[in-house]
Structure 1
Amino acid sequence: MTTILVTGGTGTLGRPVVERLRAESHDVRVLSRRSQPYAVDLREGTGLDAAMAGVDVIVHCASSPRGGDERAARHLIEAARRAGVGHLVYISIVGVDRVPLGYYRTKLAVERLIEESGLGWTVLRTTQFHDLVLQVLESSAKLPVMLLPSGVSDQPVEVGEVADRLAQLAAAPPAGRVEDMGGPEVRTFPDLARAYLRASGKRRPLVPVRLAGKTYRAFRAGGHLAPERAVGKGTFEEFLAARASGGASHK
């Protein structure tokens, strides 16, 4: 039986990863800031050695757009070296090397730390989860009109499918940078917004907004998309329908 530690194991992605690994009879440790007995703040690093003792594989899902990911990764890598962990699996984002968004740059920096760590490693990049696209649209719909970035598309992927892939990678030998994973369709934001409005029963005029800057240009150019790796199955409409029926989108 393999002992696998999942960072961010109570989060949107971490929770279904833990479910998949436990269903496959792995010994899974959930590491988050509040989950006992492995309540660890990765940015501080205290308690990591105890959590890491006897661990074979780490699946690193913990991340925060508010910062601290590089510091957390350094602490995690140092503890993994001390514990003799054989494999570190990291979830990243398609386009971190093409879109100059601050959070993307941080994810790329963490990738490089892992690649240079001396540990066995695997990195999977995916497109955005359905959940994040929904959050963006819900926020926009709070206004009388929905302001949408002009000329930008997205390729949302079902988080449960990403969890399946991470569980597979965690159970396999280190593979380095594996092929990207994208959702089944590249969709314009107005198209996604109309799907959201139909599902929610709301009515809002859609107003395209042209933004300035390198990051916006990179998004318009599709730097965050992987149309050649549209391997996901679940569509945005299916995700919305599952939510409306009370089903868990990651199952």
Structure 2
Amino acid sequence: MVPPGLVKGENHLMGDVLVTGGTGNLGRVVCDKLREAGHEVRVLSRRVRPGQSVRGDLRTGEGIPEAVAGADTIVHLATAPRGDVEACSRLIAAVLPRTPHLIFTSIVGVDRIPLAYYAAKTECERLITTSGLPYTIQRATQFHSLVMRFFHSQRRLPLVFAPGFDFQPVDVRDVADRLVAHVAAGPRERVPDIGGPEVRSARSLAQAYLEAARRRRRVVGLNLPGRVFSTFRGGAHLSPEHADGGVTFEDFLATRF
């Protein structure tokens, strides 16, 4: 099925797909689903695994031109706290003048929330849209795993702090399904966001985590001054009109505990 907001186009099944970040939380699921759909998948990696990956380092550019050669579609999932813009620039430079379909996963509200990591993602979007490459940019809300890690990191504290704003966590499997559909549908530029099925207060998500982990802790609201917190409280990171994910936070937690 073609995702909401897309128009069915040429079918690109069985094409050669290169995935950056293919060993990450989202990348592993994307690669599995691409193979299930019949695609030939290569994973960009600094360490070659026979039959699974091709060598290339986005940090330095070493091996990237050879790695991208022959790829009909590139799904760019690799990310890091620093270096995203440079990596994206190197990837684009390596594929030109060829024009494979470049699929990029970004974050809902990335151009509205004043975080350095988000600013880098916004710049990557700009580089892609002005590159001349056929592209698809998919923004998603925060992953279930990110929300869980936030609460899990506080497991040794006597209290659990919950930010004073909502989340709309989405499962990587739902996002992976959307990305695989983009590979089949072909370039669609900026496509509708994908969000989790529920907009929930951080406090309610904390309680769900504690119940799943069988821990007894008091949940305390956390409110901080500043533009970042204010923007999150305003819901810039939410996409309630695109609550397309099917896996709830409780569904996700049930697979972890």
Is the structural similarity TM-score above 0.5?
yes
Deviations 1:41-78 (A, max 9, x none): 2021100111111111100000012x000000000001
The answer as to whether partners of 1:57 and 1:85 remain within 8 angstroms in 2 is no
Are residues 1:101 and 2:149 paired? no
Are residues 1:10 and 2:23 paired? yes
Q: Which residue of 2 aligns with 1:46?
A: 62
Are residues 1:120 and 2:134 paired? yes
Deviations 1:7-44 (A, max 9, x none): 00011011111111111121111012334352322021
Q: Cα offset for 1:85?
A: 3.5
Are residues 1:77 and 2:89 paired? no
Amino acid at match of 1:80: V
Amino acid at match of 2:112: R
The answer as to whether partners of 1:33 and 1:41 remain within 8 angstroms in 2 is yes
The answer as to whether partners of 1:156 and 1:185 remain within 8 angstroms in 2 is yes
2:153 is paired with a residue of what secondary structure?
helix
The answer as to whether partners of 1:192 and 1:236 remain within 8 angstroms in 2 is yes
Amino acid at match of 2:75: V
Mark the runs of 5 or more structure 1 residues left unpaired by the alignment: 245-251
Q: Cα offset for 1:213?
A: 1.1
Q: Which residue of 1 aligns with 2:10?
A: none
Aligned equivalents of 2:154, 2:120: Cα separation in 1: 26
Give the alignment partner of residue 160 of structure 1, picking from 165, 173, 176. 173
Identity of aligned residues (%): 51
| Matched positions, count | 241
Q: Cα offset for 1:142?
A: 2.4
Runs (4 or more) in structure 1 with deviation over 4 Å come to: none
> What TM-score, normalized to structure 2?
0.91
> What TM-score, normalized to structure 1?
0.93
Q: Which residue of 2 aligns with 1:208?
A: 221
Give the alignment partner of residue 218 of structure 1, picking from 223, 231, 250. 231
Aligned equivalents of 2:225, 2:45: Cα separation in 1: 37
